[in-house]
Structures are given as C-alpha cells and as structure tokens.
Structure 1
Amino acid sequence: MPHLTADVPVDPSAPEARDWLIEELSKPEYAAAQPNLFDRLSQQFFDWLGRLFQPGESVPTDWVPVAIVAAVILAIVVALLVWGVPRLNRRSTALSGLFGDDDTRSADELREASDRSAAAGDWTAAIRDRFRAIARSLTERTVVFVSPGTTAHDFAERAADAFPDARLRLADAARMFDGVRYLGAEGTAEEYRHLAALDDELDARTPARLEAVSEESHA
C-alpha cells in the first residue's frame, strides 16, 4: 500500500503549479538559453530579408529602403561620370610640393614669410616665397592646377591663359624665381615689388577662364 501511494501522480492546485513553473524557469540554465539583443536583431534582419523575396503586400513597403539606397548610389555614380571630381583633386593638390620643394604652406603663409624676408632685406627669399604664393593662390582658387613636377615657366604659361594681359609679367616672374632658386642670382627690391604687385593684382581679379580638367595629366 505505501508503494501504491508513492506512484500516485502529484496533482497540485493552480497556484502551486504556477509557483513551481516560475521557480523552474528562474533557474540559470533557462536564463542562459534566452536570446540576447544581438540574437533578436539578427532574427529581425533575416525575417525582413526573407520577406523581400516572398510575394505579398509587404514586398513593396520592404523594398522602399533598398530602392532609396540604390537611387542615391546611382546618383553619385552618374555625377562622378558626368562632372568628375576636378575641384576635389585640385584642392587636395593645393597642399602638395611646389617647384621641387616639399612646401605645404598656404598662399597667405607664403605671403607672410615673403613679407618678413623683405622687411629683413633678404630679397632672394622674399622673391622665392612670393612667386610660390602666386602659384599656391591660383591653385587654391582652382584657376591653375599645380603638381609637384610643374616648373615655374610651365605654371606661368598656363596662368597666362587665365590672365592673358599678365602673360609677360608672369613670364618675368618665373624667370626671377628660377634665377634665385636655381641659378644663384641675388634678388633685388625691384624684383620683389614686381612680384608683390602681380600677386596682389591676380588675387583681386576674376580669371578669364579656369584650367580644363584634362590639365590634371600634369600630376
């Protein structure tokens, strides 16, 4: 009889069964089996991806974000094919070397250095930095593209296309720069004033034309 009593199924009341279930589910092994945030997000993503390839009313709505992203990418590609990135390329080269030197100073910084040298009577340095300031300024304004391999005379010829009436003065400026930079010539106050006046004039003027994008082949 005791044996038969032990085999009788347990028949708890409803509150007892609920308490037992809560107690059982609160054990660590059940908590560890619950999906974490990453699992839930991953499942939601794959559910959304699956709906894209299933017929139904939800397909057009689910395709909206995909269509928007595709349209934006297509617009960017078309813009690059039509207009290219000349100004971005030109702007990046504005901080590259100038006429054989790894000089990354801006046009204003070069002008300040030139003025300091002129005030100290160092006309050679003043001429060198002022001519670089002219080149840097036109590069920053995307008027002329200047790469590290561009020579002073090459720059002067191309800048003259943007300022035709300054062609002779630009050629003289290039000659002065080459003289003090490569030929060991001593600069003079008159040459410095010529460069300073030319720089100020070009900086205040609107160019007749901008250099064509194809000129990037000079890089």
Structure 2
Amino acid sequence: MLSIFALPVLLVTDVPVDPDAPGARKLLLDELAKPEYAAAKPTLIDRIAQAIQDWLGSFRAPEDGSVPDLFPLVVTVLIIGLIVAAFFVFGRPRLRRKSQAAGALFSDADDPRTSTQLRASAHAAAAAGDFVTAIEEMFRAVARQLAERTVVSVTPGTTAQEFAVRAARAFPEHGDRLARGARAFDGVRYLDQPGTREGFDEIAALDRDISSARPSRLERVADQGATL
C-alpha cells in the first residue's frame, strides 16, 4: 500500500522530464498564452509611437559634426501643412454645401431675373455643354413663371422640394415630373452630380407644358418681389 509520502513523487514523474518536439511546443504555447505574457505585448499604439520615435531619431545630428539631412522632415511638414490648408479652404465649404441638400432654390434672394431671362440663361448654358447650370436655371424658370402667374406662393429660402410639393397641388398631373426636377436640381447644385442633356430636356419640357397648363388650384403669392 502506498504511503501518502510517495504521492508527490508519483505526481512529479507524470510530467516528462525531456518532452518530445510536439510536447515541448505545446508547453511553450500554453506558457505564452498566460495573461501575464499577453499583457506584456506592445499594443498598436505602442508600435506606432515607437515607429514615430525611431523616425524622428533618424534626424539626429551625425557624430562627425556635419549638418543632418532634414530634407525629408521638411517635405513631410510641408505636405501636412498643405493638406490641412486645403481642408480648411476647400473641404469645409464642400461639406457645408453637401449638408444643404435641400437648400434654397435661388442662392441670391435679390435675384431679379424673370422667367424669360432664366429660361434664356438655361438654354445658353445647355448650348455650351454646361448642363449643371442649365438644369439649375431651367428649374428656376419653372418656379419663377408660376410665381409670376400667382399660381404658387414663393418666398425667400423656399427649397426646390418645397416648391415641387406646392406646384404639384396646382398641377397634380405633373407631380412626378416636378419631383424629379427638384431632385435633379438638388443633385447638380448641392450633391455635385453631373448634369445631363436628358435631365435638362426633361425639365425644359416640363417648363413648356406647365406654361400652357391651367392650374387646378391657385395659391396667392404673398410677396410679388420675393424669390425662392
């Protein structure tokens, strides 16, 4: 019968003194998997900080007293400065413009042009191949002519979408075309979408059809001098 004093000897002999290669690999992996080893590993931030430190250290003055080559550092600083400057000069207005996806139909509240003048401007832009401006001006012509006819109430700050909803009440048969025109206007003006000949032609046809259509409902213009 084994005594209790022999038990530790048996337990020790269960662990191989000289494990084979697979066994040694398993023991090593088990050891490295312990939490204290994982905590000691450098994090991503540690590695980035070390890389930056090593990079900055490369610009130390040479031991022979010659002037260090600072050209890479100067170029890097200039590039970063240009990127930051470009963001503030070009990036922020672009983001602000895109955030106004439902912006005012007329950017200038004092725009005095009549529907005839806006229509002429649209056709001139289309002839020059500038369909972004052509779509903007033609949809404005649609809005201005309905304001001139006192069919739709137009006020400063009115958006293209708001105008389309109001005009659709007076011309329900053109409701879908008005909505598409408003989306095309917002797309080219506020979302930097390219204008197309097809998009311009559709709004130009809408302008012709509405100019000769009889509204089913009139909405009194509150201010004849107001602009969208």
TM-score band by shorter chain is 0.5 to 0.7
Question: CA 1:152–1:115 in 2, change beyond 3 Å: closer, same or farther?
Answer: same
Contact kept, 8 Å, 2:155 with 2:223, in 1: the verdict is no
Q: 1:37-76 maps to which residues of 2 (within 5 A)?
A: none
Partner of 1:100: 107
Q: List, as ranges, runs of 4+ consecutive aligned residues in structure 1 with deviation greater than 4 Å.
A: 212-216
Q: 1:116-195 maps to which residues of 2 (within 5 A)?
A: 116-195=124-203
Question: CA 1:175–1:164 in 2, change beyond 3 Å: closer, same or farther?
Answer: same
Contact kept, 8 Å, 2:136 with 2:188, in 1: the verdict is yes
Question: CA 1:122–1:143 in 2, change beyond 3 Å: closer, same or farther?
Answer: same
Matched to 2:219, the amino acid is E
Contact kept, 8 Å, 1:98 with 1:147, in 2: the verdict is no
Unmatched 5+ stretches in structure 1: 1-96
Contact kept, 8 Å, 1:131 with 1:177, in 2: the verdict is yes
Contact kept, 8 Å, 2:150 with 2:221, in 1: the verdict is no
CA distance in 1, matches of 2:139, 2:222: 24
Q: How far off its partner does 1:101 sit? A: 2.4
Question: CA 1:185–1:204 in 2, change beyond 3 Å: closer, same or farther?
Answer: same
Partner of 2:10: none
Task: Describe the superposition over 1:101-159 as per-residue Cα deviations: whole angstroms up to 9, x where unpaired.
Answer: 23221000000000001111111010000000000000000000111111100000000
CA distance in 2, matches of 1:196, 1:134: 9
The structure whose RCO (Cα within 8 Å, separation 6+) is larger is: 2
Question: CA 1:189–1:145 in 2, change beyond 3 Å: closer, same or farther?
Answer: same
Unmatched 5+ stretches in structure 2: 1-103
Contact kept, 8 Å, 2:151 with 2:217, in 1: the verdict is yes
Alignment root-mean-square deviation, CA: 2.3
Identity %: 52
